[in-house]
Amino acid sequence: MNKDRQSTTSQDPKSTSIIIVALLFSITLPLITGALLSWHSLGELDVWLHQKAGQDILQDLNMPQVNTYSYTEPNHPWTNHEWLFQILVAYTGPGQDDLEDGIDRWIVLRLLLTLLLLVLLLLGDRLWRAPPLKLYWLAPGIFLGVAMLWTRILLRPEMLSYALIVIVIRLAERSGEEPWNIRRLFSPRTREGLAFFSTLLWAQIHGFSALAPVIWLLAGLVGYIPHSRFPRTNLTRLSAGTVLILAALLMTPNGWQGFIYPLKALGQFSESSVDLSHTISELQPLLSTQDGLGFTLLAFKISLIWGLMHIILTWPGRNILRITLWLLAAAATLAAQRNMAFYAITFIMLHTSPASFQIRPLFPKKWNFPPALALVPSLAVVLAVAWFWTALVSDDFYLAEGQSRRFGAGPTVARFPFQATRMLARTPGTPLFANVDAASLSLSRGQAKVFIDGRTEAYSPQTWLLYQKLRQAGPEALNILDHSKTSNVLLTLGGSAFRPLLQAMLQDQRWIVRQADPAGVLLSRLETPQPGAKENSLASFAILQPQEPNENLSPTRRADWLSALATLHHLAGNPSQREAALRQGLSLRPEHPLLNHNLGNLLMSKGQNAPALAHFQQALKTNHRLSGSALNAGVCHMQMGKFKDAEMMFSQAARLQPENYQIWVNLSLALQQLARPDDALNAMEKAVALKPDNSRLRQALREMRSQQ
């Protein structure tokens, strides 16, 4: 007996060390990765609107039923289905005087919500019960799933919603394990009772709660699949649980309207000509994202193959529910090309399922490979972690993905026009047109009434059409502002969408610049036009900006600030100051893709093609999805007579942005110089198909066909 105990004990240290190392790869490293991904600058646009709504709920102790933040549609029905999250944001967010400290509290909150989600994902299935060698092989998939979460690690109600999705899935798939007793239906000790209370909480936070009855029903039906090895529940229990969860969805301050909100949101623009995918960044199709997300899209494609292989290797376990949810999430991501986080969650749950612990060996048992074979996935995880963590903390990852996020606390540089909103606070309630990037901040900080904000459900399609016409800055744009009696306009400079409108307003004597900085420009309507008001011109405001960024910022953030300053000088017509800001920014981060691209544009406009080409190539080296840099690099090659190199760059640009007719025109010209008439004709035909109303292109196509 004593010898047996000593023998067993002598093996414990070895077994314990193997388990600890396995858990390190499968749990600890993903948790640290998630923490690093969540610790980034505040760039969330909607958080200010959530703060404003939460403050109003706390002040009035009443749930709003209509949109009160707009002067265009002040009585449009609005179902506030995120009220509990908004109260949380209002409690933790900044006041009017402690902006920096308040933002840091939000970043800590985001970190805690991320860790909550990951703890539920990684510990809820008790990974420590898995054989250590199996964990080694599961670790790469778990890490890949966590890495794909990053696009939606934002201070939004989805962060809590994703955690509740995980809870409901686990409750649903184990609903058939308990004895059935209808008297215990509402008990928190039963799966049905826990699902009810989880859904009740979920319904106060986010509209994704509509998935709860779908998940519950799906889990119950999976048990009736022959040989599914899934707990089978009786139909009475399944029906009762579903009704109970549906009842939880009704128990919100919005009542019936909150229950049907998801259906209303899905059908809001179904019969409208409004296309919000080019208006609101989060609605843009994932796989057609331009100028970024190279690693993320590659990881998504790898995960599809990895997931299918994982299902094959674990098929005897047959966790049909998780397999089905993963396949549905993959289909939804490919179709709607959104919800990458929901897909990543279902991908991780494929690996944490107890069925995954039964993964088949990759080779026949008779080959008798040693346990050291586990070093292969372990080494892969170590290398991935070393690269990923280094890239995150140095901002190399975010630069390569084309994102404005930066590692660390504080707001994203030149993202929020704080100074302009402080000026608006002096005249609360003034009608303000602000692009979506500035509207929420204006509501929270400036107390203004806005033309429109990012809540698609709070405005009719007709108002969104007016917004898009203003964005296009056509002949009727300024008339729309006149007709709506808009007195102030605030435009952020982070994107180029509203620059045509800004330039039109700068040329109109009825509008004057009240404040401008690298974050945005505030213009006000004049009762009496004052032509030539030099002291209020955009150029004057641009020159007043400090030429040295805050030394406490990281080199990347300082470079970002100089990039935004260069944009302000460009719009103000200060070419020398623009070039100086670009070069100063590159002295801080020589590989910064946006700075390289913009300096390349400036040099190309001056006919300096060789140095411009070097900057375009550096931009592409950092972010290989910059179609504009590939196009301009091809133009530089053309100007230098390097037609083969030009054809290669135009082809790369066409792969990245096939709907850009200018790329096909330039590719056609390069192919003509290379004496490839058939290919040149094909490229020109594609250009005309994309731009059929361009008479010059149609004429060029006719001439090319006549020469065949």
Give the model's pLDDT for residue 6.
39
User: Given a cut of 50, is residue 1 above it in pLDDT?
Assistant: no
Fold topology of 590-706: 1.25.40
Q: Is the pLDDT of residue 270 over 60?
A: no
Is the CB of residue 662 less than 8 Å from the CB of residue 652?
no
CA distances from 443 to 16, 39, 225, 391 (A): 56, 26, 52, 35
The residue whose two tokens read 């808009």 is 486
Can you tell me the mean pLDDT for 287-296?
A: 82
Distance CA 674, CA 654 (A): 18
**Around Cβ 185, how many Cβ atoms within 10 Å?**
16
Q: Report whether pLDDT(12) > 60.
A: no
Q: How far is 316 from 318, CA to CA, in rounded Å?
A: 5
What does the CA dihedral 130, 136, 141, 146 come to, rounded to 10 degrees? 80
CA atoms 289, 290, 292, 294: torsion sign = positive
- Over residues 109-122, the mean pLDDT reads 96
Residue 4 has pLDDT above 80, yes or no: no
Bridge partner list, 521? 491, 516
Residue, of 618 and 78, whose pLDDT is higher: 618
Asked whether the whole model's pTM tops 0.85, one would answer yes
- Average pLDDT score over the chain: 87
In the predicted structure, residue 477 carries a pLDDT above the cut 80? yes
Residue among 311, 343, 339 nearest 330 (CA): 343
Triad 122, 124, 126: Cα angle to 5°? 85
Whether pLDDT at 15 is above 70: no
Classified as helix, coil or strand, 393 is helix
Q: How does pLDDT run across 402-412, given as a tens digit for each residue?
A: 999 999 999 99
User: Per-residue pLDDT tens for 544-588?
Assistant: 998 888 888 999 999 999 999 999 999 999 999 999 999 999 999
Of all residues in the chain, what percent carry a pLDDT higher than 70? 86
pLDDT band at 377 (very low <50, low <70, confident <90, very high): confident
Banded pLDDT at 275 (limits 50, 70, 90): low
Sequence spans of domains, the chain: 590-706
Does residue 368 have a pLDDT over 70?
no
Distance CA 620, CA 292 (A): 11
| Coil/strand/helix, residue 513 | strand
Q: Which of 56-70, 258-272, 375-389 has the lowest mean pLDDT?
A: 258-272
Structure confidence at residue 417 (pLDDT): 93
Q: 659 burial class (0-12, 13-18, 19+ CB within 10 angstroms)?
A: exposed
Q: What is the pLDDT of residue 557?
A: 96
pLDDT band at 145 (very low <50, low <70, confident <90, very high): very high
Distance in angstroms (rounded) separating the CA atoms of residues 556 and 547 = 16
H or E segment at 444? none
Rounded CA separation 262/256 (Å): 12
Range 115-132 average pLDDT = 88
DSSP 32-72: HHHHHHH-B-B--STHHHHHHHHHHHHHH-S---B--SBSS
